Amino acid sequence: MSIKNRVEAILLASNRPLNQKDLLELMEIHSSEDESQLMSAIYELQKDYEGRAMNLIEVSSGFRIQINDIHSEDVAKLWEAKPLRLSKATLETLSIIAYMQPVTRGDIEDIRGVSVATSVIKLLIDQGWIKIKGYRDVPGRPALFISTEKFLDDFSLKSISDLPSLPELPELQNITPELTLQDEEQEQPAQEI
């Protein structure tokens, strides 16, 4: 059986993207010649799928075979589940985290100009699109949120740099220096009344 057919079968059967290392282990490939044949097979499959109902794409965590986007509405009719509906607040919060990461809830609120509901953060964490990377070293130790590999996979991105570029907004250029200043400020003694 050819490497190309083996790769195709494995990717079709997999319920998650597989990277080159995963494929090499599953196919028990150990020689560098076979490794290069594996990558050649992947590129051949990508060309074979062009213009067809399926395509082979590379996302952050590896390669996957998926239904071409133009057929997604037809295929969605197979499942009765309601698609996840995201509110404007949730989309704005996810966008801010993706573009400005790592950010705290306070940073998000400063950018949006309104408070962020706990349910919005919980939904994004439950979906696996964001996670807590650490905590800012300021009073209260707020959590720092970043996007995850699942976010990249679900939105068919190889890396965060594949996000569309933002228009130049003066508010965004000024927010980072303000955050830095807040981090560097020393605690001031309380004024007596």
Question: Over 80: is that where the pLDDT of 70 sits?
Answer: yes
Are both 3-70 and 88-161 of the same fold? yes
pLDDT at 181: 41
Question: What is the predicted pLDDT for the residue at 30?
Answer: 82
Phi and psi, residue 64, nearest 5°: -150, 155
Report residue 190's pLDDT band, with 50, 70 and 90 as the boundaries: very low
β-strand partners of 65: 56
CA distance 95 to 112: 11
* Per-residue pLDDT reduced to its tens digit, 113-159: 999 999 999 999 999 999 999 999 999 999 999 999 999 998 989 99
Tell me the residue type at 36: S
What are φ and ψ of residue 47, in 5° steps? -70, -40
> At residue 54, does pLDDT exceed 90?
yes
CATH number of the domain located at residue range(s) 3-70 in this protein: 1.10.10.10
Q: Give 3-state DSSP helix, strand, coil % of the chain, rounded to 5.
A: 50, 15, 35
Find the helix or strand (DSSP H, E) in which 130 lies. strand 130-135
Q: Would you call the peptide bond into 142 cis, given omega within 30 degrees of 0 as the criterion?
A: no
Confirm if 135 and 143 have CB atoms less than 8 A apart. Answer: yes
pTM confidence score:
0.59
Could you tell me which residues come within 8 angstroms of residue 90 by beta carbon, excluding any fewer than 6 positions away? 120, 123, 124
C-alpha closest to that of 142 among 182, 185, 187, 193 = 182
**174 CB neighbour count, 10 Å cutoff:** 10
| Domain residue ranges of the chain, discontinuous segments joined by + | 3-70, 88-161
Dump pLDDT digits (tens) for 153-177. Answer: 989 899 999 888 877 655 555 555 4
Q: Give the list of residues 6+ apart from residue 75 with CB closer than 8 angstroms, or none.
A: 67
Pairwise pLDDT comparison (113 vs 178), residue with the higher score: 113
Q: How far is CA 97 from CA 26, 101, 123, 175, in A?
A: 35, 5, 14, 14
Q: Which fold has domain 88-161?
A: Arc Repressor Mutant, subunit A (1.10.10)
Phi, psi of 36 (to 5 degrees): -70, -35
pLDDT band at 104 (very low <50, low <70, confident <90, very high): very high
Tokens 């927010």 -> residue: 175
Per-residue model confidence (pLDDT) at position 174 = 53
Task: Say what the pLDDT of residue 179 is.
Answer: 47
Locate 31 and state its tokens: 């020689």
> Does residue 8 surpass a pLDDT of 90?
yes
The answer, yes or no, to whether residue 188 has pLDDT greater than 50, is no
